Amino acid sequence: MLLGIDARMPPELLYCLARMGHGDEIALVDANYPAASTAAHCVMPDPLPLAGLDAAEAADLITGLMPLDPFVAYCALRMEVDDHPDEVTAVHRAVLDVIEARMPEGAGTGSLERQAYYAHARNCFAVVQCNEARAFGCFILRKGVVF
């Protein structure tokens, strides 16, 4: 056991976060996402499960330890709803509320069309799969630096 680490944080995810450097990204994906086939292309070749957590809880757990990147156009991306790219769903809002509370000054968020999200996720450092059941509950989180 370690002091100050949330008990819901699995050791594999803690190891992953420690290995990541500035600019590396995590795909935080919902329960329906093809996590295993996507993770096969990543540095961490197996998905990291966050069983029992929804997307907002998972984002809170991750961003409680991982700083977000203010030096590029986005520190986080959300998967767009098919044919409705500007729609911000309840799951999007819940996760963006967590992210916006932790964003450093100058950081921003963005979105990706679903197929573009799949392609982008294959280049992430890791895929973290939570138990989010709401559709389009997928995000990319970009690691920043500790000041």
Our answer to whether residue 120 is catalytic in this structure is no
Active-site residue 69, yes or no?
Answer: yes
User: Which is it for the CA torsion 43, 47, 119, 84, positive or negative?
Assistant: negative
The rounded distance, in Å, linking the Cα atoms of 54 and 4 is 22
Helices 55-63 and 90-102: crossing angle in degrees, nearest 10, is: 10
Of the residues 15, 22, 41, 84, which is catalytic? 22
Catalytic residue (one of 33, 54, 69, 92): 69
**Is residue 84 among the annotated active site residues?**
no
Q: Which two tokens stand for residue 48?
A: 């990291």
Active site residues: 22, 69, 118
